[in-house]
Amino acid sequence: MIGKEIRMERIMDRNTGRSVIVPMDHGFTLGQIEGLQDMTRIISEVSEGGANAIVLHKGIVRSGHRRRGKDIGLVVHLSGSTSLNPDPNDKVLVCTVEEAVRLGADAVSIHINLGAPNESRMLESGGKVVKDCNRWGIPLLVMIYPRGKGIDPISPQSVGHCVRVAEELGADLIKTNYTGDPASFGKIAKACSVPVFIAGGEKAGDVETLLAIRDSVRAGGAGVCVGRNAFQRDDPKGFVEALCRVVHQDMDPERALAGSG
């Protein structure tokens, strides 16, 4: 497993064991989304802000990754669906682990929606990806959410079920919804043997976003995977800097936003 261990060092901070990951795979689902029109620029901004890794689809790696600015960990996303589909929760594989390795990925990610009509296919695909990840020695980030008719997306029971499924599937890292309070989320994170990250969700206020992240980290979370709440800011670099202060320095949100040491 030495290959996975080496690659994990490019994603997780060695001192804190946590990470700030910025997913930028949203264009596949939503089209020419605000904040992701100039991929080379935004990748440079979040890397300069101190993010540990970004998540991209394979075509963007070829066209826009690491053209300038600081180096940053690369996670290649293997799953896809579009908002034009009547069921956007139906994720299919659009890339392979081998393709990601050839592109220089430090890790790969997949998306699974528990409770969706095609849950079984997503789980089956996930099992195949785990096998390939073990073969190539590359870490797997499983983005897994409770999404289906009548399902509460932040219910501790549902979120905990998602985390357990990802862990049992063979995930090395897990991204899921925050349950809304540190007590319930902490119970979930501490019962899992691999790092658990919260999703950033749709764009919200600066302090509101950072408070949830701080509470999740203090409860035992491994950090955050935040996309729109980072790349759609007026100052993405500055906001990512604040994110890193909260995740890696346990700084209160107001001080983190002010840039206090």
Q: How is the chain classified by DSSP, letter by letter? A: -HHHHHHHTTTS-TTTS-EEEEE--HHHHHSS-TT-SSHHHHHHHHHHTT-SEEEE-HHHHHHHTTSSSS--EEEEE-EE--TTSS-TT--EE-S-HHHHHHTT-SEEEEEEEETSTTHHHHHHHHHHHHHHHHHHT--EEEEEEE-STT--TT-HHHHHHHHHHHHHHT-SEEEE---SSHHHHHHHHHT-SS-EEEE--S---HHHHHHHHHHHHHTT--EEE-SHHHHTSSSHHHHHHHHHHHHHH---HHHHHHT--
Tell me how far the alpha carbon of residue 38 is from its chain's centroid: 20
Q: Strands 79-80 and 73-77: what pairing?
A: unpaired
Residue 18 has pLDDT above 60, yes or no: yes
Which among 91, 106, 172, 175 is annotated as catalytic? Answer: 175
Residue 150 has pLDDT above 80, yes or no: yes
Which among 91, 106, 145, 172 is annotated as catalytic? Answer: 145
CATH superfamily label, 2-258? Aldolase class I (3.20.20.70)
160-208 pLDDT, tens per residue? 999 999 999 999 999 999 999 999 999 999 999 999 999 987 777 889 9
pLDDT confidence bin for 148, thresholds 50/70/90: confident
Known active-site residue 145:
yes
pLDDT at 68: 62
Known active-site residue 25:
yes
pLDDT confidence bin for 64, thresholds 50/70/90: low
pLDDT at 254: 93
Region 44-50: mean pLDDT is 93
Q: In the chain, pLDDT over 90 holds for what percent of residues? A: 87
Residue 259 has pLDDT above 90, yes or no: no
pTM: 0.95
Q: Which of 56-70, 106-120, 147-161, 191-205 has the lowest mean pLDDT?
A: 56-70
Q: In the chain, pLDDT over 70 holds for what percent of residues? A: 95
Residue 144 has pLDDT above 90, yes or no: yes
Comparing 67 with 215, the larger pLDDT belongs to: 215
Which among 25, 106, 172, 215 is annotated as catalytic? Answer: 25
Region 68-79: mean pLDDT is 88
